[in-house]
A and B are shown apart, each in its own frame.
Chain A
Amino acid sequence: MGSSIRWKTTLPLAILCAFLLLFPKLVGSYFLHLAVSGILAMILASSWDILARTGQVSVGQAGLFGIGAYSSALLYQRYALPPVLGMLAGALIATFVSIFLGYLTLRLRGIYFSITTIAFAEALTVIWLMTPDITGGAMGVSTPPLFGGDREKAYYLILAILAAVVAVVWLIEQSRLNFAFTAIRENEDVANVLGINPTKYKVLAFMISAFFTGFAGGFYSHYNTYIIPYEVFNLGVSIACLVMPIFGGLYTIAGPILGTVLIKAIEEYLRVTFSYGHQIAYGLILVLVVLFMPEGLLGLWRGKILPLFRSRPGR
């Protein structure tokens, strides 16, 4: 019995991995580009979800994304730092900022934390626009195409980062961290009484989240070859980070990834239909999820759809 259950999970996973590894050989340039931007979004979604596990709902991930993007692009422009190292540097700088921000916002709960994170991302936009000598200002920063424009290499790099995020989330779920995060999310005061230090775990979750969000930002700047403050610090980035995991199902490995696949598909369709406002789907999905499916798609699957198949007597 045990081995058959193992097969049930490992076989589809192995097929999925093989498919992801062979993907660039199977499709053309357009779909490869979609896959790269989809995987980038999955990284952002999963990173947001790690932070959300401690009950901190960030609406300012764009701030960390933009810091990663700009660090990487500016380090290339000024010091010719190789892009992959630049991404790593961007991730580390975003992590450093998150330690600072994490300690400062520690006492803020619920909606106050969310509002502060929005203000953080918006404040960065203003700082960037007002200090063009350092940041490039409204004109932005451009870099040469990543790997000389080889999308296949870019795909494997971003896939590796996604694998790292999934591995980290898996490790969190296997370790005591999961209990600490959940306890803090459910009731911070009780967690404190139980001997869990909320400060330590909240800042740690923020750091992990910021590291991957910053790396994703660095990757984006080189892959896209051009960044401007209005785009990387945009509210839309922060919204995307939170809607995808909420849609898919919070505090899970598969939820943020599933949510991203579906939302990106809808968004791509809308992008072709409307020249502006394709994020309308994000707003609508957020409203519908809160009203009708608070546990997201995974919750809907487990609670409503699976029982339909199971509860038929005599079959």
Chain B
Amino acid sequence: MDWPSFFQSIANGVLIAGLYASVTLGLTLVLGVMGIVNFAHGELVMLGAYSTFWLFTMLGIDPLLSIAITAPLLFLVGIFVYRFTIRPILKDPPLNQLLLTLGLSIFLQNLAMILWKTDSRSVITSYSGMSLHLGMVHVGATRLITFAISVALTAVLIVFLHKMRLGKAMRAVSENNTGSWLVGINVQKTYMLAFGVACALAGVSGSLVSTIMYTYPMVGFKLSLKAFCILILGGLGNISGALLGSLVLGLTESFVGTYVPEGSGWAEGISFFLIIVVLIIKPTGLAGTRRE
């Protein structure tokens, strides 16, 4: 057994899982609270990545510091999107919600192509090439930092949902929105803020994406599909499932990339194959779901 490459695969898988988890968290929040699968979530991540790229290229702002700008920026975008597109269709059948958010996704992808062309862009900082040696494993500095930020983000989200008033309101609404209304929670406002927070999370994920991947108009859609795969693996609308699903996807991609011939090409397809196989075996996702 070639132990160094085995441990390296584990390290790579876990590190990329952090990024996947940060993308999936926002999707999970909207799904859990509002019952909507937001197809445009990846495109919000893409907007976050482009914002980070331009802040870095034009103003020289470090991609990790720019989180302080992309998160509030995407929060405002989220409030705007919610007010004018999501709110009118909250009571519509799920397929209308799918078509609307899919429409937003296509609109934003193409807007990005018109504004910034289809070139792949990357953010290269002074520490981009650095790596740490931990025993047998090499870990890139940017990957480690993005992983740490993802973990911190998850912790903040969990504390927010369990300890803070607004977070508790979101959980209450996700359990029972009529009951929440009866005890005096403003359901509409909670929806709006949940959507805004999810978009702010997308903004943070976007900043992380720009440091370890290429930024291009379709990057968000690729990440959306991975996030769907994670939701299906981990169960819809709960955070621990999203984290577990991210690990499963990250590790599977990493091991296929290392051990299968031409694996890095096949690894790109893992999320699609997993979606198909898991849904065929269990039509409501591996962990089941509360909602249709």
Contacts and interface: CB of A to CB of B under 8 A. Distances in A.
Interface of A: 57, 59, 104-105, 107-112, 114-116, 118-120, 122-123, 125-127, 129-130, 235, 239, 242-243, 246, 274, 276-280, 282-287, 289-291, 294
Interface of B is mostly: helix
Contacts of B225: 118-119, 122
A286 B279 CA distance: 27
Given A126-B269, A129-B265, A283-B109, A120 B104 contact: no
A108 B279 contact: yes
B113 interface: yes
Contact of B110 (A110, A278, A287): A278
Nearest to B276: A119
Which residue of A122, A130, A284 has the most chain B CB atoms within 10 A of its CB atom?
A122
Q: Which 9 A-B pairs have the closest CB atoms?
A: A286-B103, A283-B107, A126-B269, A283-B106, A277-B113, A280-B110, A123-B272, A277-B110, A277-B114
B279 A116 contact: yes
B212 interface: no
Contacts of A119: 225, 228-229, 271-273, 275-276
Nearest to B103: A286
A209 B134 CA distance: 55
Given A118-B225, A130-B266, A276 B96 contact: no
Given A116-B279, A283-B109, A130 B96 contact: no
Contacts of A285: 103
B222 to A, nearest CB: 9
Given A105-B280, A120-B276, A126-B272, A111 B109 contact: no
Contacts of A116: 275-276, 279-280
Contact of B283 (A108, A129, A279, A280): A108
Contacts of A129: 265
Residues of B in contact with A, size category: 35 or more
A59 B107 contact: no
B99 A104 contact: no
A277 B204 CA distance: 26
Contacts of A279: 106, 109-110
25 contacts: A57-B95, A59-B102, A105-B279, A109-B292, A110-B95, A115-B37, A115-B228, A119-B275, A123-B269, A123-B276, A126-B269, A126-B272, A129-B265, A130-B262, A243-B103, A246-B99, A277-B109, A277-B110, A277-B111, A277-B114, A283-B110, A284-B103, A286-B100, A287-B100, A291-B89
B221 interface: yes
A16 B262 CA distance: 54
B117 A276 contact: yes
A286 B103 CA distance: 5
A284 B221 CA distance: 17
A125 B53 CA distance: 29
A102 to B, nearest CB: 12
A114 B100 contact: no
A267 to B, nearest CB: 11
